[in-house]
A and B are shown apart, each in its own frame.
Chain A
Amino acid sequence: MKGAKIIKKEPFITDNKGGGLLKFKRSQLCIPYGLFLSVFVIFPLLLIIYYAFTSKTGTFSLSNFTAFFTEPTNISTLIISIFVSFIVTVICLLISYPVAYILSRLKNSNLAFVLLLLFILPTWLNFVLRAMAMKELLSFIGIPLGSTASIIGLVYDFMPFMIMPLYSTLIKMDKSFEEAASDLGASKVKVFTSVTLPLSKPGIISGVTMVFLPVMSCYVITDTFSGSTGFSLIGKLIAKCFLGENGAPIQINEGAAISLIMLVIMVVTMLLTGGFKNSENARGTNL
């Protein structure tokens, strides 16, 4: 309309409620995810349950469970798994908390971002690659393969998952709580123990669940670091059943049973730590 004179300009409101091809309800948006969920999560889960409660011949039986709980090496692997997960989680927490605390209190936010990036960056690499690199590094320093190396490897690998939720909880925390505490007469240490620490509980819980549970089922890292003397975790047991390593027979039913046991342990831990609660959960954190 070049050259034409504008006489009037006014807002244009369509009365058309978005017709045509793109006409669908909001609830229909979750169909793709629903499909994905049923094919790749619900169906396999049902499959696992089916296999766990059947014998090789396909009849209903609890023999897979009795076999697991009567075999002492399995029980000891389970106990070791829980113990190792606990140790790794505690070490991660002890290292990560100060880091997250210091990062969240840095006045220079650019510096904090760069430092945080340094801690998070490794998670962007393939973790097998990282594990191999760490192995080389350990042998360079002179730490032999074995239990210690495994724990170091696990801590190294899972640390970022602890730092992130802690950092995001601490950075979001209203500074006026700490100020109020010190105003009421609390020394710096007391402010930390009576206000900062309890208020960062959601971050701690979230970090713990993100480290404790995955460590138990992780087997690639322990495989890489344990050598001949180290421990193996329950994840390794499951892998052995399904893959049948070193000439062992493939035992799908036993593997499914152990997986199910793991699942129960996870659900129980989540319930205990309140990980299912939506409120104040700091899980939704990423860089």
Chain B
Amino acid sequence: MAKQKIIELNGVYKEYDGTLAVENVNLYVRKGEFITFLGPSGCGKTTTLRMIAGFELPTAGQILLNGKDITHLPPHKRPVNTVFQRYALFPHLNVYENIAYGLKLKKLKVTYEDTLGNQIERIENYTKEEIDEKVKKALKMVDLEDFEKRSVTTLSGGQQQRIAIARAIVNEPEILLLDEPLGALDLKMRKDMQLELKEMHKKLGITFIYVTHDQEEALTMSDTVVVMKDGKIQQIGTPQDIYNEPINSFVADFIGESNIFSGTMVGEKKVRFINKVFDCVDDFEKNEKVDVVVRPEDVKIVKEEKGMVGGVISSCIFKGVHYQMTMMVGRSEVVIQSTKGYDVGEKVFIQIAPQDIHIMKKEFVSNVYDGYITKNNTVCFADGEFACDVTQLYEGSSLDEDGYLLLKSGEKIDLSGVDVKVEVGLKDIEIIDNDEDGNACGSIISIVYKGDHYQVIIRTDEDEEDFVCDTEYTWNEQDRVSVRIPKEKIRLTLKQEAKR
């Protein structure tokens, strides 16, 4: 299975006007593999694909093709072809001319042997007959045999899609890049095309690099899935790995339905969440805060005596094959999928097998920032100024009337301009709807539901610092909000000694 690496990205960065679209991407693709870049919009997956195609140059890093550096090679010199999101079929050419476009440009090295036995090399183009044959074969591959003379503007979306694929594969590229190629098709057509593409991949044996935001599509089609978020790779693995062993709560939340709870390790392979201790198979340090992920289909409704924890059904929706129910355990919600539906208000008991409890290190335990003390004895960090208790910096110190800090020893020091490390707990940040009222403002960039609360990330406008907060209230992505932190919840530590 150790096939050779066809493409390799080493420490690739891409910056647009000061913001990083792609950050330190390292990955390789094996020859013949079907690899999918998966992530929400704006995660850098298309940018990464465009760098492989050559439409964008990385700001830093290296792209290797078969071990050779192609980072700065223009697109027309790369043995790579792309199927564009909106197909980009040339409207002034008909179907045949569209497909033949690449073939007509291709140069071949032909070796002749003359009557004296000398070998002569000549650079030639494909002959008309060769092009004809290849175009016909490609059209057959996509099941549009009699469409040669048709104008591309008269084709339906699905047909244009097929022509776009034919136009790319006819050149026999080493790698086929597909940028959300099924995005514009309806659901039924998508499902058919997914299977057809997978079939085509098998038949052609070329490497496919596929970009999508549809997790189901990624899981159905790929050999390997690369999950991306905010320009960074979160996890690379087989669809099974990604689904069963998500590396963090983002991946778990993005791939399929999942219950994400905040838990604490209470002993060897024992984790406590939803107020109950469960056996699990992952081992973490005792007392460590962890995220616990349980897939809804792994939560089994059982008889009372077998149940590990009980709760009340608060909603039940029929989804065709199964019912999706929400059960309240105390203040936590547990999503359950079961073939048998239960009534709202009914008391049920659940069981979760140890191997179905996935434990991952908590991404954010507290927010840490670099800040400095102002002359008013407040602290500036993350685009805002916050009131704080500076006396915590020196034990037993107090403030005098002029704002100087009096140490226990009686020494007087000026704190203004002193660099400090600022730490704020996730639960200590208050989100306020109005952008004026808080100390710093920004917009919400991510929301993950964690059983009984949401974990919201607020990014400030100027410095792009993130506030991660746990809140019970629902917010929407892109909401403009501001944050307030109670004075006593800001923990400060000195990074440098103050002037005495």
Enumerate chain B residues within 8 angstroms of A186, measured Cβ to Cβ.
76, 101, 105
Partner of B75, one of A174, A182, A190, A201: A182
**Is A183 close to B, CB under 8 A?**
yes
**Is B269 close to A, CB under 8 A?**
no
Q: What's the least CB distance linking A187 to chain B, in Å?
A: 6
Contacting pair A199 B91 (CB below 8 A): yes
Q: How far is the CA of A6 from the CA of B132 in the complex (A)?
A: 77
Contacting pair A174 B88 (CB below 8 A): yes
**Is A83 close to B, CB under 8 A?**
no
Enumerate chain A residues within 8 angstroms of B90, measured Cβ to Cβ.
177, 180-181, 195, 199
**Is A18 close to B, CB under 8 A?**
no
Enumerate chain B residues within 8 angstroms of A181, measured Cβ to Cβ.
90, 101
Q: B-side binding surface: helix, strand, loop or mixed? A: loop
Q: What's the least CB distance linking A191 to chain B, in Å?
A: 8
Q: Which among B76, B84, B85, B105 has the highest number of chain A CB atoms within 10 Å? A: B76
**Is A125 close to B, CB under 8 A?**
no
Contacting pair A187 B84 (CB below 8 A): no
Given A176-B86, A190-B105, A195-B90; A184-B55 close (CB under 8 Å): no
Enumerate chain B residues within 8 angstroms of A182, measured Cβ to Cβ.
54, 74-76
**Is A185 close to B, CB under 8 A?**
yes
Q: What's the least CB distance linking B2 to chain A, in Å?
A: 30
Q: Which among A177, A182, A199 has the highest number of chain B CB atoms within 10 Å? A: A182
Enumerate chain B residues within 8 angstroms of A180, measured Cβ to Cβ.
82, 84, 88-90
**Is A32 close to B, CB under 8 A?**
no
State the interface size on chain B (CB cutoff 8 A). 24
Q: What's the least CB distance linking A176 to chain B, in Å?
A: 4
Q: How far is the CA of A136 from the CA of B415 in the complex (A)?
A: 72
**Is B131 close to A, CB under 8 A?**
no
Q: How far is the CA of A176 from the CA of B53 in the complex (A)?
A: 12
Contacting pair A184 B88 (CB below 8 A): no
Q: How far is the CA of A81 from the CA of B92 in the complex (A)?
A: 33
Q: How far is the CA of A174 from the CA of B81 in the complex (A)?
A: 18
Enumerate chain A residues within 8 angstroms of B106, measured Cβ to Cβ.
185
Using an 8 Å CB-CB cutoff, how does the interface string of B83-105 with A read, 1 for contact, 0 for none?
01110111110000000011001
Q: What's the least CB distance linking B464 to chain A, in Å?
A: 23
Within 8 A of B (CB), among A163-203: 174, 176-177, 179-188, 190-191, 194-195, 198-199, 201
Using an 8 Å CB-CB cutoff, how does the interface string of A204-217 with B read, 1 for contact, 0 for none?
00000000000000
Enumerate chain A residues within 8 angstroms of B86, measured Cβ to Cβ.
174, 176
Enumerate chain B residues within 8 angstroms of A177, measured Cβ to Cβ.
88, 90
Q: What's the least CB distance linking A6 to chain B, in Å?
A: 22
Given A184-B171, A186-B76, A198-B92; A179-B84 close (CB under 8 Å): yes
Contacting pair A185 B105 (CB below 8 A): yes
Q: How far is the CA of A6 from the CA of B154 in the complex (A)?
A: 58
Q: How far is the CA of A283 from the CA of B286 in the complex (A)?
A: 73
Contacting pair A183 B92 (CB below 8 A): no
Enumerate chain A residues within 8 angstroms of B92, measured Cβ to Cβ.
198-199, 201
Q: How far is the CA of A188 from the CA of B84 in the complex (A)?
A: 19
Contacting pair A183 B76 (CB below 8 A): yes
Q: What's the least CB distance linking A196 to chain B, in Å?
A: 11
Contacting pair A184 B101 (CB below 8 A): yes
Contacting pair B105 A183 (CB below 8 A): no
Given A174-B86, A176-B88, A195-B90; A184-B167 close (CB under 8 Å): yes
Q: How far is the CA of A183 from the CA of B85 in the complex (A)?
A: 14
Q: What's the least CB distance linking B207 to chain A, in Å?
A: 16
Q: Which among A180, A190, A195 has the highest number of chain B CB atoms within 10 Å? A: A180
Enumerate chain B residues within 8 angstroms of A198, measured Cβ to Cβ.
92
Contacting pair B76 A185 (CB below 8 A): yes
Q: How far is the CA of A175 from the CA of B105 in the complex (A)?
A: 20
Q: 6 additional contacts, CB 8 Å, given A177-B90, A184-B101, A201-B92?
A: A179-B88, A180-B89, A182-B54, A186-B101, A186-B105, A199-B90
Which B residues are within 8 Å of any A CB, using their own CB? 53-55, 74-76, 80-82, 84-86, 88-92, 101-102, 105-106, 167-168, 171
Q: What would be 16 A-B contacts, judged by CB atoms less than 8 Å apart?
A: A176-B86, A180-B82, A181-B90, A183-B55, A183-B75, A183-B76, A183-B80, A183-B81, A184-B81, A184-B105, A185-B76, A185-B105, A185-B171, A187-B76, A199-B90, A201-B92
Which A residues are within 8 Å of any B CB, using their own CB? 174, 176-177, 179-188, 190-191, 194-195, 198-199, 201
